[in-house]
Structure 1
Amino acid sequence: MTTYPNPHRLWRRRLIALRSLLVVCLALALLTLPRFSPDLLPPPALLAGLAALLLPSLLAVCTLNVAPPRQQRLLGIELALDLLFVLALVQQLGGAANPLSFYLLVPLLLAALTLPPRVAWSLLALTLLGYTVVGLWHSAPAPHSTLHALSRELSPTHGLGMAVVFAALAAVLTLLGQVIQSLTREQQRQQERLLELAGRRERLYQVAATLAHQAHELNTPLSSLVMLADNARQEPGLPEATRDDLAQIEALARRLADRLRHADNAEPPQECAFRELGERLRQHLRHLCPTLTLTVEGPLDTPIRNAPAWFRVLANLGYNAIDAGAERLVVRLQDDGRQALLQVSDDGPRHERHPDREGLGIGLALVETTLETLGASLNLDFHRQWSQARIIWTPDRSTEDAPAHGHP
C-alpha cells in the first residue's frame, strides 16, 4: 500500500525554512544600513524582535514527529503565533506605517492554503484586528529617525489608504488560498478515484483471465466428448440402446459447450466478410482476456464461407495464445485466387522463465479436425517468444466441398 507524506508536516518544515530565511535576510539588511548612514543603526529591540520570529519555528522543530491528526492543529497555532509576534514587532517599530507589517500577509496566505476555511477566516480577522490596533496604538519612534518619519509625517489619508490596501490584499489572498486548496483537494480526490478504478479494473482483469482459463479447460474436453460421441455413433453394429446413450451424451456435452463458448452470441452467420469475422473474434476474446490486442490484416471484404467453423478454429488458436500469456495476436489473410493462406501469430509466452507454451493439447486437435472438414492444412511454428499457425487451403474446395457445419 502506498503511503503519502503528511501535507501539514511538509508545510511546517517549509515555515521553518521561511522564517529562518526571513530573519537572516532582515538581519543582514539592517546590519548593512550603518554603512550608508550612521543614523540608521538598528536598535537592539529590533534585533530581539527578529529573533522572536524564530520561536514558532522552535515549536515546529519540537513537534514534527507528533501524530498526523495533530499536525493541522499545531500548524494553526504556529501561524497564529507568527502573526502575533510580527504584530508585536510592528507595534514597537512605528505601527502599521512600517513596511514590515506586510509580512503579515505571508502566514495569512499559508493558512489559507493549508487550513480549513473556519481557521483561515479566523486568522484573517485576527490579522485585520491586529493591524488596526497597531495602526492606532504603537510606540513612538525616536525623534528625527526614519521610523519617526514613517509613522508621524504621513497624512491621515495616506494611512487610511494603506489600511484599505492591506485589508483588500489580505482578503483576496485568503480567498485565493481557499480556492487553490479546494481545487487541490478535488484533484486529489479525482486521482484517488482513478487509482481506485484502476485497481478495480486490474482485479476484474485477473478474474476475467481466471474465468477464461477455466472456461477453456472445460470447453475443450466437452468439445472432444462431442466429437468422440459423434464418431462412436457411426460405428456399424452398435446396439440401439448404446447409440441412444451416445446421442444423449453428445446432446448434453454440446449444450454445455455452446453455453460456455457462445454465451455472448459471438458466432457469425454461415457466410460473412473477413472484417466481420475478425470483429466477432475480437469481441469474443476481449471477454476472455481484456488486455489482448487483436490485429486483423488482409483483404477485409473477402467473403468467408462456413464462417462458424472458421470462427471456432480462430477462437481455439486465440485460447492457446491466451494460455501462453500472449498480449498481441495478429490474424492475416492472403488470397491470390488459387490458394489462400490464413496466418495467426502471437507473442506468447512473454516471460523467459516460462519458455514452454501451454494449452497446445486437445484444443489443437479440435482445430485440425475442423480444418480437415474445410479442406485446409495446419502448420505450426513455435519459438520461445512467439508462435505462428499457417492455415493453407484452396478457396474452391473450401467453399464447395465443405459441409455446412463443422465439428466443434
Structure 2
Amino acid sequence: MNTKRWSSTQILSLGFAMLILIGGLLLSLPIASRSGSGIPFLKALFTSTSATCVTGLVVYDTWTQFSYFGQAVILLLIQIGGLGFMAAAILFSLAVGRRISLRERSLLAEAVSSMQVGGVVRLVRRMLIGTALFEGIGSLLLSIRFVPMFGLGQGLWFSVFHSVSAFCNAGFDLMGARSPFSSLTSFYDDPLVILTIAVLIMAGGIGFVVWNDLIESRFQFKNLHLHTRVVLFSTMALLLIGTAAFSSLESNGTMQSMNAGSRILPAFFQAVTPRTAGFNSLDIASLTDGSKFITMLLMFIGAAPGGTGGGIKVTTLAVMAASVLAELRAREDVNLFHFRLETEAIRRAFCGTAVYLTMTAGGILVLCGQGQPLIEAAFESLSAIGTVGLTMGITTTLPALSQIAIILLMYAGRVGSLTVFMAVARSNHIGKLKNPVGKIIVG
C-alpha cells in the first residue's frame, strides 16, 4: 500500500477511523467495565466514536458502566480526538527529537486548519501549551467544588476529566456518580462550575488558529486576520442572541421558577453548549419546542474551524450570509469586514453545507425508518454530525442500524463532511476542454 500517493484528506480520515477502531476494541474488554464483563462491540465502537469525535452521545452512563480503566481510555480518546491525531503524532515526534518532514507539516496544517504550512510546527507547540494551560487551570477551578464533594482522589479525577472533556468540546461527564445521565443539571445555578465549563468550551471551540493570531497580534483588533475577526464576531453574536432567546423561551418552561436575573446563567450555558459541547444544565427533553429549535440551529452552526467543535462552522455561516447579502444587493464582490472573499471560499462554504445537510437528512431518514419520531430523529442526527452530544434520551434504546447511522454521522462531523466526501471521491483532473454553456432557470 503506497500511502505517499494518498491525499491529506484520505490520511486524516483513515487515521481517525483507526483510532476509533482501537478505542472500540479497548472499551469492549472486560477490564473496561465495572461489572468485569465486556460490552457488545457495536456499543463499544459507538462510545469510542463519540469520544474520538468529541461528541458526547452515549449508550451507557460513563460513570456507572465503565471502570477507571475504561474512563481513562475515553479521556485519552477525547484528548487525541480534540487535538487531532496528527497533532498528537507530532507531539510524540517532538518529544523524541525527530525532524518533521515537509509532508508531515502539510498534513498537520490540514489537520489544524492552518492557512499556511510555514510556522505550523510553532503553531502546534503553542496549541499544546495552550491546551495544557487551559485544562490545568480548569481542573484547579473545578477541584474547588469537586474535591469537597467527592473526596480528594475522586474529586481530582472528576476535575481533570471534566476539564479535558469541556475544552475538547466532548460533553462526556462522570455525574452518574450522583444520578445517571444527569450531566450538569444539579449545578445549573453554580457559577463556579457552569462558568468554568463554559469558558473551557468557548476556548476550545474558537480554534487554535484564532488563539495564535490573537497572541501574534497582541490582542489588537486592527492587526487580526479576517478569519479571527469573523470567528470572534460571529461567536459573540450567537452567544448574545442564544442567551436572550433561551431566557425568553424558557421563562414559562424549565426556568419558570426563576426570576429574570437567575435565568441568565442557565440561559447563557444553554447558548454555549450546543456549539458543540454536549453538557447540559437543563433537561433537554423538557425544553419548549422553541428552545429545541434554537438548540438545533446552534448545533447546525457549530464552532470555528481548527477548534475542537463541529457543525458547519461559524465562518461558513458568515461566508454564506455575506454571499446572500451581496446577491440581494446586486453586487459582484462578496465582502466581509472590508475584505473581498475568494470564489473558492464561497464555493466550499455552500458545497460543504450541502453535503452536511445531505448526510443529516440520511441520518434522519434511517432513524425515522426505525420508529423514531421526526423531532427526536432530527435532534439526534444534528447532535451527532455537529459532534454536540446533546440528546433527547433516545440513544440508549436505538436499534443497531440507527446506532451505525449515528456512528457515521459523528465520524463525518469530526473529520468534516466535505473532507469525508473528498476522501472517498475520485480525483478528477481538470482538462483544457470545457463543455458548452447551458442556461437554466433558478428560483
Q: TM-score, normalised by structure 1?
A: 0.27
Larger Rg: 1
Structure with higher RCO (Cα < 8 A, 6+ apart) = 2
What is the TM-score of this pair, normalised by structure 2?
0.25
